[in-house]
Structure 1
Amino acid sequence: MTNELLELGTCAGCGVKLQTESVENLGYIPQSALEREPLICQRCFRIKNYNEASSVAIDQDDFLRLLGGIAETNSLVVHIVDLFDFEGSLISGLQRFVGNNPVLLVVNKVDLLPKGMNMNRLLNWVQKQAKAQGLRTVDIVLCSAKRNIGFDRVVQALAEHRGDRDVYVVGATNVGKSTLINRIIRDYSDLDRELTTSRYPGTTLDAVHIPLDDGHDIIDTPGIVYHHRLTEMVPRGVLQALLPDKPIKQIVYQLNEQQTLFIGSLARFDFVEGPRQSFTLYLSNALPVHRTKLERADELYANHRGEMLAPPTREQLEDIPGWTRHRMTIKRGTDKDIVISGLGWIRINDTEGALLDIYAPKGIRVMLRDALI
């Protein structure tokens, strides 16, 4: 830790160590704000003056230490997940950290699914997946904070389940947590009047306490960084293409065995063996897909990665680990998705049985699940 950090001390709002080096990290305070009294980080400044919480991130170990204290409180825990990366954004083992406190699961970004989705079927799918992960919930709400879809139901669920409790909001990065918590602040908190920093003292780590009208708090926790998600691995310049901002248009491919699909230079899908069948890709509309023969795939990648096969660019690929192969045998009659965490998923449509190889950067989670759509 630098002498500058030691001299700056801690934020009077949330207690985190202050620093002037990185806007994206905890405790950031601009040089121009160092003359103010008391010293508060930029996140606390925004909450106090603009009724706005901003998203910050911490590593998994620090986040788990923060979660460790929730079981000792009397709180409603609001766990926000990203429907587009459900398994990748679900906090593993959350149940053991929250103790007997109720968990409200808020599934964000439903607006990204193709139009015409059956919401009841989707809710049933989420319930089944959450139960399989060992998460016990008092309620599940589907919403889009960005598009203001289902947010009335979020507010209603908070009113039903909060009682005389504080509210902890937890979630991974890039799940829309800051957008959602800003809506909660506007609906539940009276921050129009001037507040003193003592009104939101926070914890000794990095959670920010935002006062509610009834004397309780929303506790805004930093987003947890899960390195098994592609969104955490790629350079910032690739994120815009990776994260969809409007409903995805599924792409259907009729493939013969020994054919390959490249998703830019981010992933590769080999149909190694099986009868001719169709596969549907659910990806950001900004990601190009290129089809070729399996026998040409290695040569094509070597010659065109980062150029015809992009994003990322050749230069950006230098910061991304090499690919790992994941072999999957799909039994006939099964109804499955292949999920590449942070990228999207591929639905196996005809269920005729197939031998598949999926290549993704080392460390990225690749898995089978029950089909979402």
Structure 2
Amino acid sequence: MTEATSELYCIGCGAKLQTENDQEAGFLPAARLAKADAGEAELYCQRCFRLRHYNEIQPVGLTDDDFLRLLNLIGEADALIVNVMDIFDFNGSLIPGLHRFAGDNPVLLVGNKADVLPKSLKRPRLRSWLTQQAHAAGLRPVDTILMSAKNKADVAELLTKIEELRNGRDVYFVGVTNTGKSTLINAILKQTSGIDDLITTSRFPGTTLDRIRLELDDGAGIIDTPGIIHRNQMAHYLDAKDLRLVSPTHVIRPKTYQLNPGQTLFLAGLARFDFIQGHRGGFTAYVDNQLLIHRTKLENADDFYDRQKGDMLQPPRPDSDVELPDLARFEFTTKQDSDLVFAGLGWINVPAGETVAGYAPAGVDVVLRKAMI
């Protein structure tokens, strides 16, 4: 049994600090703890220290069920729930059964990372699309906001909306991993108190390990909860060098390809798009600007992938420490302008009336949705 240090928690990830087991959450060397002043409030565990200073991730023994148990406590609280979603990865950001976690608490839906979408997409239209998609997924938020944690005006608008809705209650921030939830709370802290980068953030799934409570002036608190880990996201099949490809930080430049039936697009070695039947037309890909796309004939696609995976088609890299599962195939025929989505990687816009197939590593979602743009 790991001995926990009484009443001390890592301010970066929320884990209870302990000095006995360096393979478990919250480990801090005893010598470091002994040197800490008795009143020191901002202690970081060894895992957060390495992540913040060296970008090294250390696995810990928490399971998906551990994260879900923490979220189950939300329904027992009287609070405003702020559901942060990655607008670039809407489908991968959905929390199944969020209403069960929230109980009777109101939910404010926040579409984060709006700054990476093409500027031609106006926010009122995107906000309407986001609300429609949320309703289709069974969510009934009291309001919807689009924003970027990098934009001070957006953060100020979110704070105003939170104050309007919380009525003196606690505010719980919830979301799937990599939605920018902790980054957003850091932006709020920076804007309201001048504190910089208090909570540990990274592209690694599962950075926050326990609830982190930050006190408000009226005695209520802002609580950052651990991100729910969705195994259907592409991030779980990439090594540290390639995680940037599923977390764009710059405005996406759409790439349009004029395709005939019988042509294939490879999104590096991570996903594949086949145009099976229909009319020659434009198919637009919305992915990170650094992700290389290769076009080939459908009849040659299997052989091309076998020969070029890890070479011309990178990632995956030959030296990657993460094994990429075989690609699984999903076929669709569109009835309206649609997006073929590869969870966490991006999407390809498909005109109405076309038959296409999408491939992604087994376990990663490939879905068809109403076109965002």
After TM superposition, the score normalised by the length of structure 2 is: 0.84
Paired position in structure 1 for 2:32: 33
Paired position in structure 1 for 2:77: 73
The C-alpha deviation readout for 1:111-147, integer Å capped at 9, x for no partner, is 0111121211111101111111111212111000024
Whole-angstrom CA distance in 2 between matches of 1:151 and 1:102: 20
Whole-angstrom CA distance in 1 between matches of 2:249 and 2:63: 26
The C-alpha deviation readout for 1:302-336, integer Å capped at 9, x for no partner, is 111111111221232861111111111223xx121
Counterparts in 2 of 1:74 and 1:140: CA distance versus 1, 3 Å: same
The C-alpha deviation readout for 1:341-370, integer Å capped at 9, x for no partner, is 010011113x2x222121110000110111
Counterparts in 2 of 1:11 and 1:356: CA distance versus 1, 3 Å: farther
Within the candidate set 8, 17, 36, 1:12 is matched to: 8
- The Cα shift of 1:285 comes to 0.1
Whole-angstrom CA distance in 2 between matches of 1:311 and 1:206: 32
Q: Tell me the amino acid that sits aligned with residue 97 of structure 1.
A: F
2:169 matched to 1:165? yes
Q: Which moved more, 1:70-79 or 1:11-20?
A: 11-20
Whole-angstrom CA distance in 1 between matches of 2:47 and 2:282: 52
2:217 matched to 1:213? yes
Paired position in structure 2 for 1:364: 364
Whole-angstrom CA distance in 1 between matches of 2:124 and 2:289: 26
Paired position in structure 2 for 1:222: 226
**Which structure 1 segments of 5+ residues have no match?**
47-54, 193-204
- The Cα shift of 1:29 comes to 2.9
Within the candidate set 92, 95, 99, 2:99 is matched to: 95
Within the candidate set 342, 345, 370, 2:344 is matched to: 342
Whole-angstrom CA distance in 1 between matches of 2:29 and 2:111: 34
Identity %: 43
CA RMSD of aligned residues (A): 2.9
**Which structure 2 segments of 5+ residues have no match?**
49-56, 197-208
Q: Tell me the amino acid that sits aligned with residue 367 of structure 2.
A: M
- The answer on whether the counterparts of 1:29 and 1:41 sit within 8 Å (CA) in structure 2 is no
2:119 matched to 1:120? no
Q: Tell me the amino acid that sits aligned with residue 340 of structure 2.
A: I
2:237 matched to 1:241? no
Q: Tell me the amino acid that sits aligned with residue 7 of structure 1.
A: E
Whole-angstrom CA distance in 1 between matches of 2:3 and 2:30: 13
Pairing 1:60-209 to 2, within 5 Å after superposition? 60-148=64-152, 150-188=154-192, 206-209=210-213
Partner of 2:16, secondary structure, is: coil
Q: Tell me the amino acid that sits aligned with residue 246 of structure 1.
A: H
- The answer on whether the counterparts of 2:27 and 2:47 sit within 8 Å (CA) in structure 1 is no
Instruction: Report runs of 4+ in structure 1 exceeding 4 Å deviation.
Output: 8-11, 37-41, 43-46, 55-59, 187-192
Whole-angstrom CA distance in 2 between matches of 1:292 and 1:298: 10
- The answer on whether the counterparts of 2:245 and 2:345 sit within 8 Å (CA) in structure 1 is no
The C-alpha deviation readout for 1:20-69, integer Å capped at 9, x for no partner, is 646xx8424356523236698627999xxxxxxxx999643222211212
- The answer on whether the counterparts of 1:189 and 1:211 sit within 8 Å (CA) in structure 2 is no
Whole-angstrom CA distance in 1 between matches of 2:100 and 2:246: 32
Q: Tell me the amino acid that sits aligned with residue 335 of structure 1.
A: D
Counterparts in 2 of 1:220 and 1:248: CA distance versus 1, 3 Å: same
Partner of 2:332, secondary structure, is: strand
- The answer on whether the counterparts of 1:306 and 1:313 sit within 8 Å (CA) in structure 2 is yes
Whole-angstrom CA distance in 1 between matches of 2:6 and 2:94: 31
Whole-angstrom CA distance in 2 between matches of 1:330 and 1:251: 20
Partner of 1:146, secondary structure, is: coil
- The Cα shift of 1:242 comes to 3.1
Partner of 1:12, secondary structure, is: strand
Q: Tell me the amino acid that sits aligned with residue 364 of structure 2.
A: I
The C-alpha deviation readout for 1:50-95, integer Å capped at 9, x for no partner, is xxxxx99964322221121222211111111100001111211111
Paired position in structure 2 for 1:49: none
Partner of 1:287, secondary structure, is: coil
How many positions carry a matched residue from both structures?
344
Pairing 1:179-328 to 2, within 5 Å after superposition? 179-188=183-192, 206-316=210-320, 319-328=323-332
